[in-house]
Amino acid sequence: MGPTETRWLLLTGTAPGDFGVGSIFLSDLERFLSVGSLFVVHVVDGVDVACETTTAFGNSLRVLRCRIECRPQSRFGLVGKAFDWLRMTLANRRRIDKAVRACVEYARQQRVEEVWAILDTPASIALAAPVADALGLPLRVTVWDDIEHNVGYFQLDRFTARECRRNFDAAIRRADGLAVIGETMQHEYRRRYGKDSVILRHGLKPALRMPGMHEPGSAIRIGFAGSVTARSAFNCLLQALDSLGWSIDGREITLVLMGQRFDLLSAVPRRIECLGYLATVDEVVSTLSGCTVNYLPQPFESRWRPFAQWSFPSKLTTYLAAGAPVLLHAPPHASLPAFFERYPFGALVTQLDAQAVGEALRELCGDPTLRREACDAGAAALTEMFSVERFRNSFAEFLGIELQTRDERPSMQECKEAPAPCAASPAS
């Protein structure tokens, strides 16, 4: 491999930016590439016309509508739904064909040399292989969540889901390079497709890491950040805290929640701080660092099994950066227990058992040796698995190029803190 100025077409259902984990992930990858080498097609469902803008780093971004209907809506029984499904399927194919033509025309105008697709929505999944085939160009594919999770998340009917699975398989098999989010997905895709892949996970800048373990005071604070996708596990945590009377050895417990929405029903007194959505990673890390223990669950529900098993929670990086022990609550088949065996960053509970959760909390809050070992393991994981250097090197391996290290443009996180020099154009 040698230095290159390859021109990339990025097909994605998530635009680079600062409005979510995937968005920030793509922006921090974008900064490794030369300005003017990336041409983003953001495939969306609800925009009427294509519009042109730029990313925060000055690369071209085109918003393209490609609406994929997910299930028949007829109220006239099975016959009505059959006709509506036929109408819906034909309409979806017309929209996909139109979007492929628009992507190909745009790519040729920009003289792109390779296609990079994020398989994160039914539309981006449907476009990946056809666009690369029409252009006759190499295809690089990035997968964050397995197709079975996406089928459930987008609530596809069984026939539309079958088509989406075919499109996903076609993109993977067509790919000249494959990037996945974790070890379990890497092993599964080698078995399923016979494809080797690169693990591409977000790297955290050293400036965002807290210096070390926060020594617990008289009160206990348990931190949780993000969406409650693991509902049964989260409820189990609340049951454990209720059974403890919201105290351990006379030390009062407060649950600190960071996120947009929490549904909390209680028949007993509870001590909960709901801080809402925190706008920056720095704020989340700082808040988690002030907690005695931070709680990270993965779903136990059967319908969430593909998500738990093949995906890798990006917020683990944020949790580890806080420098506090983590209580990992996940089923044995999930992606994180195996990672925990290598880096025991706290305590692990693998069943929906409130007593087991309570005992793990008691140990993490009261055993200084366990706390120190957990924080040391978390620091080692950050250094070895979640560094910016590893992030860059994995991205270079995925693209099959050598990335120049002289580019010191700020990350998306730093763009938010200093908007004047690198503010993004308004999205249309």
For 14-68, write each residue's pLDDT tens digit: 999 987 789 989 999 999 999 999 999 999 987 656 688 899 999 999 999 998 8
For position 50, what pLDDT does the model report? 63
Q: Which range in 23-32, 66-75, 403-412 is most confidently predicted, on average pLDDT?
A: 23-32
Q: What's the confidence (pLDDT) of residue 74? A: 63
* pLDDT reported for residue 1: 38
Closest by CA to 25, choosing from 17, 36, 33, is 17
- What's the rounded mean pLDDT across residues 116-134? 97
> Are 203 and 391 spatial neighbours (Cβ–Cβ below 8 Å)?
yes
Among the residue ranges 148-152, 214-218, 241-245, the one predicted with the least confidence is 214-218
275 phi, psi to nearest 5 deg: -90, -5
Q: What is the pLDDT averaged over residues 250-266? A: 90
The percent of residues above 90 in pLDDT, for the chain, comes to 72
**What pLDDT does residue 414 have?**
47
pLDDT at 288 over 90: yes
pLDDT for 217: 66
Grouping H, G, I as helix, E, B as strand and the rest as coil, residue 144 is coil
DSSP secondary structure code for residue 10 in this structure: E
User: Is residue 366 a contact partner of residue 249, using CB atoms and an 8 Å limit?
Assistant: yes
Statement: residue 425 has pLDDT above 80: no
> Domain ranges in the chain?
8-203+387-422, 206-383
Longest CA span, the chain = 69
Q: Report the C-alpha gap between 422 and 113 in whole angstroms.
A: 27
Lowest mean pLDDT, pick from 45-49, 262-266, 416-420: 416-420
Q: Pick the residue with more confidence: 424 or 337?
A: 337
The helix/strand/coil state of 358 is helix
Stated length of the chain: 428
pLDDT > 60? residue 202 = yes
Specify the pLDDT at position 421. Answer: 27
Residue 420 has pLDDT above 50, yes or no: no
- CA 2, 391, 150, 424 dihedral sign is negative
Residue 422 has pLDDT above 50, yes or no: no
Residue 387 clears pLDDT 50, i.e. is over it? yes
Domain 206-383 carries which CATH code? 3.40.50.2000
Average pLDDT over residues 71-77: 68
Cα atoms in the 13 Å half-sphere on the side-chain side of 169: 10
Domains 8-203+387-422 and 206-383 share a fold: yes
Helices 21-30 and 388-399 cross at an angle (nearest 10°) of: 80
pTM (2 decimals)?
0.86
Please name the fold of domain 8-203+387-422.
Rossmann fold (3.40.50)
| Least confident residue range of 20-24, 117-121, 196-200 | 20-24
pLDDT confidence band for 208 (50 / 70 / 90): confident
Q: Which residues of 368-388 are buried (b: 16+ CB within 10 A; e: fewer)?
A: eebbeebbebbbebbeebbee
| Alpha carbon distance 194, 26 (integer Å) | 27
- The two three-digit tokens of residue 138, written as one number: 């190499």
Query: How sure is the predictor about 142, in pLDDT bands with cuts at 50, 70 and 90?
Result: very high
CA–CA dist 428, 426 (Å, integer): 6
**189 in Cβ contact with 180 (< 8 Å):** yes
Q: Which residue has the higher pLDDT, 209 or 2?
A: 209
Render pLDDT for 84-100 as a digit per residue (tens, 0 to 9). Answer: 778 888 988 999 999 99
Tens-digit pLDDT profile for residues 311-370: 999 889 999 999 999 999 999 999 999 999 999 999 999 999 999 999 999 999 999 999
Q: What is the mean pLDDT of the chain?
A: 88
Instruction: Tell me, rounded to whole angstroms, the distance of Cα 330 from its chain centroid.
Output: 17
- Sheet with 198-199: list strands edge to edge: 51-54, 60-65, 38-44, 8-12, 114-118, 139-142, 177-180, 198-199
Predicted pLDDT at 375: 94
